[in-house]
Homo-oligomer: A and B are copies of this chain.
Amino acid sequence: MKKTKTARKIIKTVKLAKNPKGLDAFFKAENIALIGASHEQNKIGNVLMKNLLKNKTVFPVNPNVDLIMNRHCFKTVLEIEDKIDFALIAVKAEFVPDVVEQCGKKKIKNVLVISSGFSEIGNEKLNENLKSKLEKYNINCIGPNCLGIYDSFSELDAIFLSQQRLKRPLQGKISFLSQSGALGGAMLGNLAEKKIGISKFISYGNAINLNECDFLEYLSEDENTSVICFYVEQIRDGKRFLEVAKKVSSKKPLIVFKGGVTEQGNRAALSHTGSLAGDSKIYEGIFRQVNAIQVDNLEDLFFVANLFEKFENFKNIDEKIQVITNGGGYGIICADQIEKNGLKLAEFSPKIKEKLKKEIPQVNITNPLDLMGDVTNERYKIALDNCLNDPANDLILLVVLYQTPLINEDIVEVVSGMNNKRKKPIVLVIPKTESEFNISEMLEDKGLACFEFPENAIRVLKKFLRK
């Protein structure tokens, strides 16, 4: 208890600055020096060049080449006359300290180091060497040993994976901070496939000077970010994290997935980045203390974030759920999962119950509300409308099995029309099927949140409701 109180006291004194640590220099950069630019197809220095060039002014640096993609190539950054917002460094690890020295001389204050081969493989000497250069010139550094950064609003693509290999996600207001680059990359691809949009992506690797706290602070001030997702194996400075993360989560939902929560997982983390993942109970305690939402499935990280983004305007939602279904079995599974997850099935208010009895007399008015196999679009509409008007529930879990013969694709309009009134969150369960219409895709395009299975929907809802 005492500890918590102390922490709280400190937090009150922490004030988050706008543009903390001047990270806008990275995310709103226009002029970027690419050190280690390459003209060879598929080389990292070539992929980065192509990705950056789409929207930014790139100054390629490579002492061995004159022209890259028809652009003059500089021998060193010192030759560049323009002001550089940040230098993106993708040379062999052993050359990084020298290159950073040159950046310092050129008065470049921000570097993003993609190169790996530092403390993550036990090369502490090289690590210290890089550190001292950064300190000498007071340079902000993202990385080393990272995938890069991405911003869908400023259209900065500083990720070293090609856009053919990894299609970027749509624009959205979820930002994603990842200690692991490979996991970050895989998730970006997954988000593109799931059509969940993102704002900023930051792979921060070894965090040699900028660390998770700096990025969290920055994202909490970012107007294009409304939800923050965070994959982490190790928090380096627990005390500062307690302060910063609490402040951050008071402004925006902070959703955390922790890698290395078991002994075996810890051992794997140690061999991965040389970081000691630490006791999972301690981490759970920290995340609880800072009001972060810890998810246990990688899959849930973005689905929870997606609900926060979609339902941004609903505050303090309680856990009384009204289930509407056209398949009794799905109703039963929903009821099971709601109870298992400690949520509640709402009870109808007497008034709405009477109204429903009159308007859809063929239906047994209970929760789950089973509209039955002969359900029509119209019956769905009546049920939804009444349930949305019932003060006795807090949100609607709506199951639509598109197989039943008397509904058709107009069900999309019925549901999205009701959703547009924004009375309550509506969460959908729609099994993905091979059919003439892809109802869940059509509903997602209308801004609704769809899940394939009741279990996933309710597990994610529980986290969204912070239960």
Contact = CB atoms under 8 A, between A and B. Distances in A.
Given A180-B327, A189-B434, A298 B165 contact: no
Interface in A337-394: 338-340, 345, 364, 366, 368, 370, 373
A186 B403 contact: yes
Contact of A404 (B182, B193, B273, B328): B182
B327 A186 contact: yes
A116 B339 CA distance: 30
Contact of A336 (B164, B264, B345, B401): B264
Interface string A274-315: 000100000000000000000011110000000000000000
Interface stretch (A9-17, A148-156, A453-461): A453-461
A431 B194 CA distance: 11
A333 to B, nearest CB: 6
A70 interface: no
A328 B272 contact: yes
Given A264-B339, A297-B453, A329-B180, A185 B403 contact: yes
In the complex this chain forms, how many copies of it are found?
Answer: 2
B299 A329 contact: no
Interface stretch (A25-33, A104-112, A254-262, A416-424): A254-262
A172 to B, nearest CB: 15
A361 to B, nearest CB: 13
A412 interface: no
A335 B167 CA distance: 28
A326 B178 CA distance: 16
A166 B165 CA distance: 33
Given A186-B433, A260-B336, A432-B190, A331 B403 contact: no
Contact of A271 (B261, B327, B345, B366): B366
Given A165-B403, A182-B330, A402-B165, A187 B233 contact: no
Contact of A328 (B161, B164, B273): B273
A193 B345 CA distance: 31
A193 B432 contact: yes
Chain A: number of interface residues, binned into ranges? 35 or more
Contacts of A403: 161, 165-166, 182, 185-186, 189
A162 B160 CA distance: 48
Contacts of A193: 432-434
A340 B263 CA distance: 10
A459 to B, nearest CB: 9
A373 B160 CA distance: 11
Instruction: Identify the interface centre among A44, A166, A370, A454: most chain B CB within 10 Å of its CB.
Output: A166
Interface string A197-218: 0000000000000000000000
Given A186-B327, A401-B185, A403-B189, A332 B433 contact: no
A42 interface: yes
A265 interface: yes
A268 interface: yes
Interface in A152-184: 160-162, 164-167, 178-183
A434 B167 contact: yes
Contacts of A454: 298
A64 interface: no
Interface in A216-240: 231, 233
21 contacts: A166-B434, A167-B435, A178-B329, A180-B332, A182-B328, A182-B373, A183-B329, A183-B333, A186-B330, A189-B402, A190-B433, A190-B452, A262-B340, A268-B331, A268-B335, A269-B328, A271-B328, A298-B333, A298-B453, A298-B454, A299-B456
Interface of A: 42, 44, 47, 116, 160-162, 164-167, 178-183, 185-190, 192-194, 231, 233, 259-265, 267-269, 271-273, 277, 296-299, 326-336, 338-340, 345, 364, 366, 368, 370, 373, 401-405, 431-436, 452-456
